[in-house]
């Protein structure tokens, strides 16, 4: 069961890492190109549709991360497992304390300063997800 959970965890983390890089390099920068009149509707739809993808994956990643820390698979250093959990907590904190409020403000209309904060703050999440993906990949490579 543990190898399956390690694989599922790595897949979910890889999916979120890929999504985060796509958002950082493509999606968020392109928000500045949406017309001013269309932006509030676009932002609301962005929030709804992104939630359909990100929420289940983020939840699965958190649950699997906690499960792995609890069962402590053989060969995986305990400190790495708990580092993975801590990184998930950082991502969730950033998401709900920084990005979600910025999206809420942007739903009222495009603001270049808020958009810039959204783009820059998202890079922190992307970096953390990249670290998580490296950890998850390393665990798959263990004998």
Residue-wise pLDDT tens digits, 48-73: 999 999 999 999 999 999 999 999 99
Give CA 1 to chain center in angstroms: 25
With a CB cutoff of 8 Å and minimum separation 6, the contacts of 129 are 13, 16, 17, 20, 91
pLDDT mean over 40-44? 95
Q: At 71, list the tokens.
A: 């069962």
Q: At 127, list the tokens.
A: 């970096």
Please state, as a whole number, how many other Cβ atoms lie within 10 Å of the Cβ of residue 74: 8
pLDDT at residue 3, as a whole number: 87
pLDDT mean over 20-27? 97
Band (1; pLDDT cuts 50, 70, 90): low
pLDDT at residue 142, as a whole number: 80
Is residue 57 within 8 A of residue 91, CB to CB? The reply is no
pLDDT mean over 109-124? 97
Decide if pLDDT at 86 tops 80. yes
């Amino acid at each position: 069961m543990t190898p399956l959970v390690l694989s599922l965890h790595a897949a979910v983390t890889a999916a979120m890492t890929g999504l985060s890089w796509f958002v950082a390099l493509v999606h968020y920068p392109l928000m500045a190109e949406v017309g001013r009149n269309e932006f509030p509707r676009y932002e609301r739809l962005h929030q709804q549709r992104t939630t359909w993808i990100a929420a289940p994956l983020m939840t699965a990643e958190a649950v699997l991360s906690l499960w792995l820390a609890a069962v402590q698979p053989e060969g995986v250093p305990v400190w790495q497992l708990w580092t993975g959990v801590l990184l998930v907590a950082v991502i969730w904190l950033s998401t709900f304390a920084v990005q979600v409020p910025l999206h809420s403000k942007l739903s009222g209309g495009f603001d270049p300063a808020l958009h810039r904060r959204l783009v820059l703050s998202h890079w922190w999440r992307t970096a953390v997800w990249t670290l998580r993906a490296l950890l998850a990949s390393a665990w798959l490579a263990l004998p």
